Each structure stands twice: as structure tokens, then as C-alpha cells.
Amino acid sequence: MISDAVRALRETFSPSFRRVMWISLGLTVLLLAVFGAGAQWGLNAMPLTGTDWLDTIIDILSRFIAVVILIPLVLPVTTLVAGLFLESIAAEVEQKDYPSDVPGRDQPFFASIVTALRFTLVLIAFNLVALPFYFIPIANVIVFWGMNGYLVGREYFELVALRHRDAKDTKALRRRYFMSVFVAGIAIAAFATVPVLNLFAPVFGTVFMVHTYKRINARAA
């Protein structure tokens, strides 16, 4: 698992992924800016109390909350961006690192986008519900890594595995190797909590999960 993560980190910044890395980075920053502007607009739209000092405090708190909300939204945004590039990244990794294996089947582009969008909304909903826990030291890390590790691990694994298996076999394999998929998801969630590096999570997560799937598939053979 650790070797897969180190390998994925090295390949994330390799020349072969440089173009898609910068494109995904730009889209990630753009989407985060849109979410941030939307959160700020929503908070600013709150009615004033008419008391200057109280309105000042509310304004400061709203700006702080708008920034805090962006932190757990990084992972859903990067997951959505990953849906745009997963097929091309996975194909590149498979061709480069597993040339003797049967290549995966690219999923329909719009189907991949719909799946990624649906999952992104699920991630946003869960993270907003868990937002109060993110203000509690230690608990915030446990909740964020645990919840998102499960959700992200499941989604990334199924998207990668569906290139080689049908939906029924994919779910059966994921359940059989639940802990491996869960730990891989935690690694991706942890990567997404590191400032600056989290912006490269779409590429890292996809590359890492391809290696994870290949290792699990070899064990299941």
C-alpha cells in the first residue's frame, strides 16, 4: 500500500501527466472559487440585525465560515474533476506500468460525468452534515478521513474496476477487499488535506487507485 502511494505520488508529477495535471489544477481552483463565491454570497444575503456591532461580528464570522466550508469541499471538487480525466489517466497508467495486462475499456464520457457529479453531491451533503465536527480538534481528522475515506475509496475503486469488470463483479470485489479499498480511500482523503498538494488530488487519487486495483485483482486471481 505504501509503495503504491509513493509510486502514485511520483507518477502524479511525471512529464506524462503534466498536461492533465495542470488542466485539472486549473479546473479545481476555478470550481473552488465558484463554491467560495457562492458561499460568501449566501452568507452576505442574510438579513442585518440593525445593530452595528452585532452586524460587524456576524460579517466577520460569515467570512470565516465561508473559508472553513471550502476546506471539506476540496475533496468533492477534486473528485468531480477526477471524473473528467479518470479514463485517460487510468489508460496511461495501465499502458505504462501494466503493458502485459488486458487494457481496460473506457466508459462513456457522459456516463462518467453523471456518475462523478452524483457522487460529488453525495460528498458535499455528507461533509456539510459533518461540518460541526470539523471544529473539534482530533475529531475533525477522524471524521474527515474516516467518512471520506470510505466514500472516496468506494467511488474511485469502482470507477477504475469498471474498466475491467461488470458492475456485479466490481461490487463483489470491493466488498471482499473492503479494508484495502477503505485504507486506499483514507490515503486519498489524507492527501486531500495537505495544502497545495490537495489541488493535485484528482491525478494522485486516480493513479493510486489503479495500482490498488491491480494489486487486489492479482490477489483475487
What are the extents of the domains in the chain? 2-220
Q: How far apart are CA 22 and CA 12, in angstroms?
A: 11
Whether 77 and 32 have beta carbons less than 8 Å apart is answered as yes
Q: How far is 126 from 106, CA to CA, in rounded Å? A: 29
First to last CA, the chain: 18
Separation CA 78–CA 32 (nearest Å): 9
CA distance 128 to 82: 21
Total-model pTM: 0.77
| Long-range contacts, 137-143 (Cβ 8 Å, 24+) | 141/193
Instruction: Report the amino acid identity of residue 113.
Output: I
For residues 78 and 202, the answer to whether their CB atoms sit within 8 Å is yes
Cα–Cα distance for residue pair 126/114, rounded to 1 Å: 19
Q: How confident is the model at residue 66, as a pLDDT? A: 60
CB-based contact 201:6 (threshold 8 Å): no
The tens-digit pLDDT sequence of the chain (221 residues) is 778 788 887 887 877 777 777 877 787 778 777 777 776 676 666 666 667 766 677 666 666 666 566 666 777 777 777 777 778 888 888 888 898 888 888 777 777 777 778 887 888 888 878 878 877 888 888 888 898 889 888 888 988 898 888 889 999 999 999 999 999 999 988 888 887 777 777 788 889 999 999 999 888 87
Q: In the prediction, which pLDDT does 206 show?
A: 87
